[in-house]
Amino acid sequence: MTAALAALLIAALVTFVGWALSGPFRAGTREPQESDERRALESAKEAKYAEIRDNETDYRTGKLSDADFRALDRQLRAEAVEILRAIDLLEGRAAGAPR
């Protein structure tokens, strides 16, 4: 009884693993919709926003002078703009790409 159960278990396991890993041998693998570059830029944008927020918190908790804060904030926002430009450029390219 136990041996039969064990045999059944192993057969089910091997079938499952075989099915799960046989993707390259079957047609119709879906490509993800969002590009890697777009996700990287989104991630960079989030990080830049976090940096801007951090800078604001540093200023409000008295770690930065007015002048230092303004200079740094300007620089960080300019960097955020560059990232957004890159995202726009990518979106523009994607929209213009032949389907």
Partner 1 sequence: MAFAGHLVMVVALVVCLYGIGAALYGARHGRRDWVDSGRRSVYCLAVVLTLGMVILEVAFVRNDFSYTAVANTSSTTTPLLYRVAAMWSSQEGSLLLWVWLLSIWSSAAIYLTRNRLRDVVPYATSVLLGFGAFFTTLLVFLDSPFGQMSSVPTDGAGLDPLLRNPSMLIHPPMLYSGYTFFSIPFAFAVGALIVRRVDADWIRITRRFALASWMFLGIGILLGARWSYYELGWGGYWGWDPVENAALMPWLISTAFLHSVMIQEKRGMLKIWNASLVLGASTLAIVGTFLVRSGVLDSIHAFTGGGLGVPFVALIATMVAGSVYLVVTRREVLRSEHSLDSLFSREAAFLLNNIILVGLCFVIFWGTFFPLISQAVTGTSAKVGPPWFDRYTVPLALILVLLSGIGPVIAWRRATLANARRNFALPVAAAGAMAIAAYTVVPIGSSVPTVILFCCAMFVLASIGQEFWRGTRARRAMSSEAPPLALLSMVRRNRRRYGGYIVHTGIAVLFIGVAASSTFQHEQELSLQVGQSTHVGAYTMRYVKATSHVVNDPSHTGATLTLGAVLRVTRDGKYVATLRPAADYYPASSILSGQVVADLISGDAVQQVALKSSLRRDLWAAIKPLGTTLPSTGVQVPEESLVALGDTTILPSTPQEKQLEAAYIELGAIADAYRRNPPPASFTLISSPLVMWIWLGGLIVLLGGLTAIWPPPAARRGRIRARYFARVAQELGRA
User: Which stretches of the chain bind partner 1, using CB under 8 A?
Assistant: 2, 5-7, 9-10, 13-14, 16-17, 20-24, 29, 31-32, 34, 36, 39-40, 43-44, 46-47, 49-55, 57-58, 60-65, 68, 72, 77, 80-81, 84-85
* CA 54/CA 31 separation, integer angstroms: 37
Closest distance between partner 1 and the C-beta of residue 96, in Å? 19
What is the residue-wise DSSP string for 18-68?
HHHH-GGGSS-PPPPSS-HHHHHHHHHHHHHHHHHHHHHHHHHTTSS-HHH
Smallest separation (angstroms) from partner 1 to the CB of 85: 7
Query: Least distance from C-beta 61 to partner 1, angstroms?
Result: 4
Residue type, 57: T
Joined together, the tokens standing for residue 68 give 């230092």
Nearest to partner 1 of 36, 96 (CB atom): 36
